[in-house]
Amino acid sequence: MSTMVDLRAVTKRFGSFTAVNDVSLEIAEGEFLTLLGPSGCGKTTLLRLIAGFDTPTEGSVWIGGEDVTHLPPYRRPVNQVFQSYALFPHLTVAENVGFGLRMQHIDKTEAAARVTEALALVSLTGLDARKPHQLSGGQRQRVALARALVCRPKVLLLDEPLSALDAKLRRSMQLELKRLQRQLGITFVFVTHDQEEALTMSDRIAIVNGGRIEQLGTAHEIYHRPATRFAADFVGQANLLEAQLLLQDSECVRVAVTGGLELTLPLAAWPAGATVALIAMRPEKVHVSKSRSSTAFAPGAANIFQARIEEEIFQGATDHLILVTAAGTRLGVVVANESALGDIFHAGDLVYCGLHTDDLVVVKAE
């Protein structure tokens, strides 16, 4: 698959402030790529550099194999769905959607047909004559989407398009956007600060922090193998443990983490030559059982330790447990509230924990 958007060592400064710091990113044709990061990290600025509203201070922007660094937005094969939707208040829905075609001098009858088609695509048939202020938030969002899609862009940019919708509508729009993207095969660059949204929708996620891309990968890679402390913390939850090297053989390392708990990791996971490192542990990857002989303790679970439940927080489908190991390390774990066959946990219970060596990830501490 060929590269559609290519950011090459792009830096954007506003005065002395660096909003985007030496970012290189290749987005494949037909890919759904999400820029995920906290507010103010530079996501919108990255999008604006692709759209052409800003030009990079350094580096270049390529779209479809062409250097567009200095092309104005109206010459780029890119369309955007704005966070505020930015529908033109004086135009009807049909005129809003047809605006881009009008600018391209597309023949009137063809334009009308394409507008109808685009409105049907986003399930807005019959609302052609309405003005934006006569629409609900969700409908406006769809008009903004149709207005961008009708131009058949090579890349669609979406800047937190769902953030103004209520939770339920948001979920259904997430699925619909994903469906549209698959159906049309257009490259989507989607901006959000919502990690769940990013995990649900994306082919790949770029974790943005402080103007840099901290990690780029599929949802699975980002979640299961976070590369940095920030990525581990921002996507999902993680126990972050400072680890000190104790022993090392040809396959494994033995480390002691904050509080004293000793764990075993594959040698390959440990940074060569390091004596200390930061380990991320997802709370649901710790198997918890009341008896040591439970089937949960598969042979791979090289890390087996005892702990006492300090606190139990019932959350419906899951239980959050705060554990304190015999050595004194505190861990947050999540267990499924299974059928009556499973264990039932209470604060004060003594439990056995098992952890596969591969579920311990060493992350960069910076």
Partner 1 sequence: MPAPLTAAPRRRFPSGIRLVDYTLTGWTALVMGFLYLPIIVLVAYSFNRSRLNIVLESFTFAWYQRVWENGPLLRAAQNSLLIATVSTVLSVLLGTGGAWLLHRYRYRGARSLQTLVAVPMVMPEILMGISLLILFATAGMGLGFTAVIIGHVTFSFPFVLVAVQARLKGLDPAMEEAALDLGATPLQAFMLVIVPCLRPAIVAGALMAFTLSWDELIVTFFTTNAASATLPIRVFGMAKVGLNPMLNALSAIFIVATAAFVLFSNYLKKLSR
Name the one residue in this structure whose structure tokens are 């590369």.
227
Instruction: Please report how close the Cβ of residue 46 comes to partner 1 at its closest, in angstroms.
Output: 15
Q: Which residue is nearest to Mg ion (CB)?
A: 44
> Which one of partner 1, ligand ADP, Mg ion, none interacts with residue 283, CB within 5 to 8 A by kind?
none
Instruction: Please report how close the Cβ of residue 115 comes to partner 1 at its closest, in angstroms.
Output: 13
| The only residue of 72, 266, 300, 328 in contact with partner 1, by rule CB under 8 A | 72
**44 near Mg ion, judged by CB under 5 A:** yes
**64 near partner 1, judged by CB under 8 A:** no
Give the residue with the Cβ less far from partner 1, 140 or 287: 140
Question: How many of the chain's residues bind ligand ADP (CB under 6 A)?
Answer: 11
| The only residue of 34, 42, 202, 261 in contact with ligand ADP, by rule CB under 6 A | 42
Answer for the pair 56, 11: CB distance below 8 angstroms, yes or no: yes
**83 near partner 1, judged by CB under 8 A:** yes
Instruction: Please report how close the Cβ of residue 104 comes to partner 1 at its closest, in angstroms.
Output: 6
> Which one of partner 1, Mg ion, ligand ADP, none interacts with residue 14, CB within 5 to 8 A by kind?
ligand ADP
Instruction: Please report how close the Cβ of residue 168 comes to ligand ADP at its closest, in angstroms.
Output: 25
**84 near partner 1, judged by CB under 8 A:** yes
CA distance 189 to 258: 40
Name the E strands within the chain: 3-14, 17-28, 32-36, 58-63, 66-67, 78-81, 155-159, 187-192, 204-209, 212-217, 239-248, 252-257, 262-266, 276-281, 287-289, 303-314, 318-325, 330-336, 350-355, 361-363
**79 near partner 1, judged by CB under 8 A:** yes
**108 near partner 1, judged by CB under 8 A:** no
Q: Among the candidate windows 23-31, 39-47, 162-170, 174-182, which touches ligand ADP by CB under 6 A?
A: 39-47
CA distance 305 to 254: 14
Give the residue with the Cβ less far from ligand ADP, 41 or 334: 41
Q: Among the candidate windows 2-10, 17-25, 85-93, 181-189, which touches partner 1 by CB under 8 A?
A: 85-93
Q: Among the candidate windows 98-106, 113-121, 249-257, 334-342, which touches partner 1 by CB under 8 A?
A: 98-106
Q: Name the residue among 110, 93, 86 with its Cα closest to residue 158.
A: 86
Q: How many CB atoms lie within 10 A of CB 192?
A: 23
**69 near partner 1, judged by CB under 8 A:** no
**41 near ligand ADP, judged by CB under 6 A:** yes
**39 near ligand ADP, judged by CB under 6 A:** yes
Instruction: Please report how close the Cβ of residue 103 comes to partner 1 at its closest, in angstroms.
Output: 4
> Which one of partner 1, ligand ADP, Mg ion, none interacts with residue 42, CB within 5 to 8 A by kind?
ligand ADP
Q: What are phi and psi of 49, to 5 degrees?
A: -70, -35
Q: For residues 242-269, b (16+ Cβ closer than 10 Å) or e, as one string?
A: ebebeeeeeebbebbbeeebbbbbeeeb
- Show Cβ contacts of residue 12 under 8 Å, excluding neighbours closer than 6 positions: 18, 19, 20, 42, 45, 49, 54, 56, 57, 211
Q: What is the dihedral of CA 50, 51, 53, 59, to 10 degrees?
A: 20
Give the residue with the Cβ less far from Mg ion, 48 or 142: 48
Instruction: Please report how close the Cβ of residue 83 comes to partner 1 at its closest, in angstroms.
Output: 8
Name the one residue in this structure whose structure tokens are 């002989």.
293
- Show Cβ contacts of residue 259 under 8 Å, excluding neighbours closer than 6 positions: 325, 327, 328, 329, 330
Q: How many CB atoms lie within 10 A of CB 364?
A: 16
Binding site for ligand ADP (CB under 6 A): 14, 17, 19, 37, 39-45
